[in-house]
Structure 1
Amino acid sequence: MPGFDFSNHTRNAALHARGVPLPKATSTGTTIVGCIFDGGVVIWCAGAGTAADTEFTTALISSQLELHSLSTGRKPRVVTCMTMLKQHLFRYQGHIGAYLVVAGVDPTGVGLFTVHAHGSTDKLPYVTMGSGSLAAMSVFETQWKSKMTEQEAVTLASNAIQAGIFNDLGSGSNVDVAIITKEKTTLKRGYVKPNERSKKQKSYVFKRGTTAVLNEKIITREEISKYVTVTELGTETTLGEKMDLDV
């Protein structure tokens, strides 16, 4: 995986020192949790942080695990995946914004780990990550118990995710669950949808002229041609699809 390019760092720092504002990054939220039950583990949306970083990082480690499996002639352990992830992320000191929950079942038993962007890891019977992790952790700390059944773990993880949804503005509105056992993995998308979109009670399309025009300025084509290139589209030019209007 190629490294990051910091060639413009000095230039950007000099511009910022002169008062040029830096572009702001758009921040979104996530709540991911995992908990162990008797015979397996439950994972919910096991990637938080920068979406592109989580996708490409997991794809990279997946290919490395496949090569490792072909080289050793056996299936990789959960701890092997965790070690590859922490070594890769530690190398970039947090510049790769991938916060992951790694879980699975292998001959050594059930494994549940968290991997932070800077490379640190945790091994716990229940974990949470993301912007809604504090609310989700409060549910685990008050309701988790050892040797839970599969359905008890699913219900507990669902409640933890919903706590993250309702107490964090960016944690979405759906709950997805993956149940991992020694025999199989079951993925349930949209297991709970606490914030389904409802239909509008009436139309909110207002007639032209409803809002008063306080100021009006008309820019002619000759004026705008000084700054941009004006090109007329003929009648035979293929245009894009029309925008849907909410009526």
Structure 2
Amino acid sequence: MLESLVNLVSYPLTFFNCLTFLCCPYTLTVSRNAALQGVFGGGETPKPLKTGTTIAGVVFKDGVVLGADTRATSSEVVADKMCAKIHYIAPNIYCCGAGTAADTERTTDLLSSNLSIFSLNSGRNPRVVMAVNILQDMLYRYHGQIGANLILGGVDCTGNHLYKLGPYGSVDKMPYLAMGSGDLAALGILEDGFKPDMELEKAKQLVQVAIHAGIMSDLASGNNIDICVITREGVDYIRPYQESEFKDNRKMRYKYRPGTTPVLTEKVIPLKLEVVKETVQWMDTA
């Protein structure tokens, strides 16, 4: 089987090595995937598991605030309730990861190692844009095969920076960001509450409320909230910043009086039951 697999992937990488077009019937067949299934016994290709996360970041007056939940899911299963999603990159740079946990951890570890070598050679902290360029080249090289959605924030000699990187290498720079399966609810909070040149406590509260909104609207996000504050004076990584293992209080009772909903039609169907007689026998204890 190993020889068959080597022969299959030993050809030069071309578009037709992956896809084969049949122009007459106007169909598209994935010949390479079908060949791989034949090599491995004809089984179905494993389907990816669903993941979920809520991460966010805000630029305030003196630095950057990053936040994330701590729930790691594997489809419908909560795999880890205390997953650290805010990763160390450099003394002045941290990164939040959403997507495949292994990809985000190994990608940030590799970036941290490269920047550590740069710091040892140059004797100074790296700039945030340097980390962004390394991540962008790495993610684009694999064309989305690395399931990492990243929010990278840091402070350097040029100011406070917050970037968003997609798995295909796309980059956006914004004053506030949110990613993950709960990003829609988090972005609504950030858009409503963000103001330029915010104070530290206001920025921390905004990120905390945004992550909490993502947790309450997304089953794949939950448990605790971690906060990381990056300034020129240093880094304050608060883990956990808030425990979110609680339910929101209901604002009203959802029990209605009989007759509130009008009955338009009524149909009674008799239930046929089969009566079975059982005979009880006393156990002989003699």
Query: Contact conserved, 2:64 with 2:229, CA < 8 A, in 1?
Result: yes
Structure 1 CA distance, aligned partners of 2:175 and 2:208? 16
Q: Secondary structure at the match of 1:164?
A: helix
Query: Contact conserved, 1:178 with 1:188, CA < 8 A, in 2?
Result: yes
Structure 2 CA distance, aligned partners of 1:188 and 1:122? 26
Query: Contact conserved, 1:173 with 1:194, CA < 8 A, in 2?
Result: yes
Query: 1:36 corresponds to which residue?
Result: 59
Structure 2 CA distance, aligned partners of 1:23 and 1:105? 41
Alignment of 1:24 with 2:24, yes or no, is no
Query: Contact conserved, 1:29 with 1:172, CA < 8 A, in 2?
Result: no
Structure 2 CA distance, aligned partners of 1:194 and 1:52? 24
Alignment of 1:148 with 2:198, yes or no, is yes
TM-score, normalising length: structure 1: 0.72
- Report % sequence identity: 44
Query: Contact conserved, 1:178 with 1:186, CA < 8 A, in 2?
Result: yes
Instruction: State which of 149, 172, 176 in structure 2 corresponds to 1:99.
Output: 149
Rg (Cα) greater in structure? 2
Structure 2 CA distance, aligned partners of 1:24 and 1:10? 15
Instruction: State which of 132, 139, 142 in structure 1 corresponds to 2:189.
Output: 139
Query: Number of paired residues?
Result: 191
50-59 or 73-82, larger mean C-alpha shift: 73-82
Q: Report how far residue 71 of structure 1 moved.
A: 2.9
TM-score, normalising length: structure 2: 0.62
Q: Report how far residue 195 of structure 1 moved.
A: 1.6
Structure 1 CA distance, aligned partners of 2:189 and 2:169? 26
Paired residues for 1:151-170 under 5 Å: 151-170=201-220
Structure 1 CA distance, aligned partners of 2:243 and 2:104? 24
Q: Secondary structure at the match of 2:198?
A: coil
Runs of 5+ unmatched residues, structure 1 = 198-247
Deviations 1:168-190 (A, max 9, x none): 11012211100111011011112
Runs of 5+ unmatched residues, structure 2 = 1-5, 10-31, 69-95, 248-286
Report the RMSD for the aligned CA atoms in angstroms: 2.3
Structure 1 CA distance, aligned partners of 2:57 and 2:147? 20
Q: Report how far residue 14 of structure 1 moved.
A: 5.6
